[in-house]
Amino acid sequence: MDLKAAVGLNAGELLAFVGAGGKTTTAWRLLCQIVDSGERVVFTTTTHIFRPRDASLFLTPAPAPAEIARRLGEAPALVLAAGPGESGDPEHAARSPYPADPVKLVGLEPEVLSDLARQMPHVTWLVEADGARRRLLKAPAEYEPVIPSEADRVVIVAGLDAIGKPLDERAVHRPEIAARLLGVPPGAVVTTEMVVKLIGHPSGGLKGIPACAEVVVLLAQWADCSGIYADAVMQALLPNRRIARTVLVNFGKP
């Protein structure tokens, strides 16, 4: 699918990803489409990402616009981070949407990215602004997410495959916070109504999103059977005026 058109991404925007269930996959597929269209793009994070093995990589806590521009002149896509961090789970690294080493890269401060976006308006910025430890849903902690103030749009990712599973640490990142926000006991079976409420909760999916940013919900489907819940979730999100568009993506298909 044309993922760029689906999320409404325009060249030169800063797009931040929050939630769980497909943030990195979405960002990487967008990066590939942006490169195919002949545009320049930076993939970066305010949290942590696995170190790509076959990509142009720039590691510094204080990146200079001139150096970013020089590197983008050599390759249309650049992965940007503050520096190397701790080792990550090799199995998780192996399931990354791009070839990755089991080493986490440390994210940049959100205002560093905001300053860069202001100074480089012709570059598209893809920012992973939330961590979820490969879970399908998440509820943010007090210090999450970490979204740059200059974000033009924020994509809230939610994995539909969580529906029908227990609300516990196997499917949900920070399940105890999610249970409190939803008003259900820990371990309750996740329903479509719970997914909708968590996405649209001001302390859930909508937490920390800049007032000027457009909000996009991306429902990630990994198993074919999870798509049966998509219409119900999308229809239930329609009355939420803070959400500009909702997208369904089947990541389970090649």
Residue 110: the pLDDT is 98
In whole angstroms, give the CA distance from residue 56 to residue 218. 27
Contact 139, 177 (CB under 8 A): yes
> Tokens at residue 200, please?
């649209």
Q: Note the pTM of the prediction, 2 decimals.
A: 0.96
Residue 128: the pLDDT is 98
Contact 16, 147 (CB under 8 A): yes
Residue 253: the pLDDT is 60
Residue 223: the pLDDT is 84
**Tens-place pLDDT, residues 185-229:** 999 999 999 999 999 999 999 999 999 999 999 999 998 776 789
**In this structure, what are the phi and psi dihedrals at residue 86, rounded to the nearest 5 degrees?**
-80, 165
DSSP 59-113: E-SS--HHHHHHHHHH-SEEEEESEEEEE--HHHHHTSSS-EEEEEEEPPPHHHH
Contact 180, 40 (CB under 8 A): no
CA 90, chain centre distance (Å): 21
In whole angstroms, give the CA distance from residue 126 to residue 147. 11
- What parts of the chain have a pLDDT lower than 70? 226, 253-254
Residue 236: the pLDDT is 97
In whole angstroms, give the CA distance from residue 215 to residue 209. 8
What average pLDDT does the chain have? Answer: 96
CATH code where residue 63 lies: 3.40.50
Contact 174, 45 (CB under 8 A): no
* Number of compact structural domains in the chain: 1
Residue 132: the pLDDT is 93
Q: What range does the domain containing 43 cover?
A: 3-250
**Tens-place pLDDT, residues 66-78:** 999 999 999 999 9
Residue 252: the pLDDT is 80
